[in-house]
């Protein structure tokens, strides 16, 4: 039973560390002066970073108690892929109306 308690504590610490990393990224994003394009690139980077961190968390812990992490990772990945697809579509529209 002690092994499961340790695993649960490590899982909680992992979630806190993911939250702190994302908070630090958001603070850094808002402190540094940047143009609109750099701000947009930073938002893409933060969303990618969230998906990667959630993926690492979701596949590091196994068992029924950690199933929520896999669901959150799947939803975050789906949202990120839709967001990147819309971004690609907007870029292609921009190229079409350039001339």
Mean pLDDT on 24-42: 79
On the question of pLDDT at 63 being above 90, the answer is: no
Q: What is the pTM of this model?
A: 0.74
Whole-number pLDDT of residue 26: 81
b/e code 14-46 from CB counts within 10 Å (16+ = b): beeebeeeeeeeeeeeeeeeeeeeeeeebeeeb
């Amino acid at each position: 039973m002690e092994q499961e308690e340790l695993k649960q504590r490590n899982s909680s610490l992992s979630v806190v560390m993911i939250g702190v990393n994302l908070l630090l990224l958001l603070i850094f994003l808002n402190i540094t002066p940047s143009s609109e394009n750099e701000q947009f690139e930073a938002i893409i980077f933060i969303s990618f970073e969230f998906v990667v961190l959630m993926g690492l968390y979701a596949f590091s812990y196994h068992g029924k108690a950690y199933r929520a992490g896999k669901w959150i990772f799947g939803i975050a990945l789906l949202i990120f892929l839709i967001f990147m697809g819309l971004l690609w579509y907007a870029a292609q529209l921009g190229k079409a109306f350039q001339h």
